[in-house]
Structure 1
Amino acid sequence: MLKALILLGLIAAFPAHADPSGTLRVIDADTVDIGGARVRLYGLDAPEMGQPCLLDGQSIDCGRWAADLVRARFEGQYARCITRDIDRYGRQVATCDVGGADIGQVIVAAGWAVAYRRYTMRYDLDEKAAAVAGRGLWASVMQDPETYRASRSIAPAAPDPACNIKGNISGNGRIYHRPGNRDYDRTVINEAQGERWFCSEAEARAAGWRAARN
């Protein structure tokens, strides 16, 4: 019995998600696939796909522009990562390196993304150096990515005010959000992907959804 309890304790001590390693494929300037895992790079925030900015007097898609630069630098190379968190989309949030170089540091220092100081000051000085030198995004006129997302994150209201519980599908499974939950306002329901509205928690649970933790 004692041996069984010790074994269970050792299993619980290991993380649920192994640290990813493998060939890197770029999704956007702060999100990559590594060894089959979707990884959100820790400590940086890149412009969204479709986010406009003014560069050299021309309006461009800054998200695609930054992603293309990251892709040219890292695509197809072997990366090793250390997982630091799991985000609300089920992605591993990790620091990663290629050939001993910290990918996040390279991206921020080149001005292809900004330091995400809300979570860490890890790349604060790298961003400041890029800003002073006018590298990458710092040579453009661009709205901060987080501010840009916030301006676009007001989700449509429920078609029926009496059925306002949001049944969302993410990497964490089928989760329902009630008004007042932390992520309720920014959760958008895409019925084409199987997401739906519920009129009660009992209805949501019966359909296979579970309650959001926050």
Structure 2
Amino acid sequence: MLLLALACTLIAVDGDTLRCGEERIRLIGIDAPELPGHCQKERSCAPGDPIASKEALAAASRGTAEIDRQAYDRYDRTLARVRVNGVDLSCAQLAGGHAIYRSDWDLLGEIGIGCGATKQLTSIPASPRRLSSRAAHPAPPATEAGWSYRNCGEARRAGATPLRRGQPGYGAHMDGDGDGVACEPFRR
């Protein structure tokens, strides 16, 4: 693998795409929420807050960058693994809940393994029903609808809390009062 230090300022286009001068760089292995008006009806787009996702990528992109170019997509973007100050940006977006893992977009399987995405993330749908906080909460069955952190401790370690219904990483099993906000801070 060839890693090159870049002499440009990375600019976040959205939560999974950067610009370096004229080059557009698409981060491999992840899909971030689309900016308003960009999710076409026939597409299944990643859930979450697209503005927060873009802002998180912009913040993580400040510093010395290295690009591992792997291919080009149909939009002529460079498909790459990008590290800034030693931090993999795909991993950072996953850990922060700003993107979802896509194994079919992980060209060499590096993100799934390197970011622990295939180990940390389980596929759990968000449940719209309200649960009593006293009720036992078995983990919901896995589906292809989305993914969830296993528990609030894992979500807190990733810096992704609190999580809201529809946001990547949210799971009804972590929302004890069923209000749509999981792993909220304790109020005294």
Query: Which is higher, the Rg of structure 1 or of structure 2?
Result: 1
In the alignment, does 2:98 pair up with 1:98?
A: no
Q: Following superposition of structure 1 onto structure 2, how do residues 55-70 of structure 1 map, counting pairs within 5 Å?
A: 62-70=49-57
Instruction: Give the TM-score taking structure 1 as reference length.
Output: 0.47
TM-score using structure 2 length: 0.52
Within 1, Cα distance between the matches of 2:167 and 2:95?
18
* Residue 131 (1) aligns with residue 149 (2): yes
CA distance in 2 between partners of 1:87 and 1:101 (Å): 24
Report the residue type matching 1:43 in the other structure.
Answer: G
| Unaligned stretches of 5+ residues in structure 1 | 1-17, 52-60, 145-214
Larger fraction in helix: 1
The percent of aligned pairs where both chains have the same amino acid is 24
Of 20, 29, 36, 1:50 maps to 36
How many residues were matched structurally?
118
Aligned positions of 1:42-191 closer than 5 A: 42-50=28-36, 62-74=49-61, 76-120=62-106, 121-124=109-112, 125-126=116-117, 128=121, 131-132=149-150, 133-134=154-155, 136=160, 139-142=163-166
Structure 2 contact 67–83 (Cα < 8 Å) conserved: yes
Within 5 Å, give how 1:8-47 maps onto structure 2: 21=6, 22-47=8-33
- Secondary structure of 1:94's counterpart equals strand
Cα deviation, 1:41-70, whole Å, max 9, x if unaligned, reads 11111011128xxxxxxxxx7111211122
Query: Greater shift after overlay, 78-87 or 129-138?
Result: 129-138
- Quote the offset at 1:112 in angstroms: 1.0
Alignment CA distance shift 1:143-1:88 (3 Å): farther
Which has more strand, going by share of residues? 1
Q: Over residues 161-198 of structure 1, what are the superposed CA-to-partner deviations in whole Å (9 max), with x where a residue is unaligned?
A: xxxxxxxxxxxxxxxxxxxxxxxxxxxxxxxxxxxxxx
Shift of 1:137: 8.6
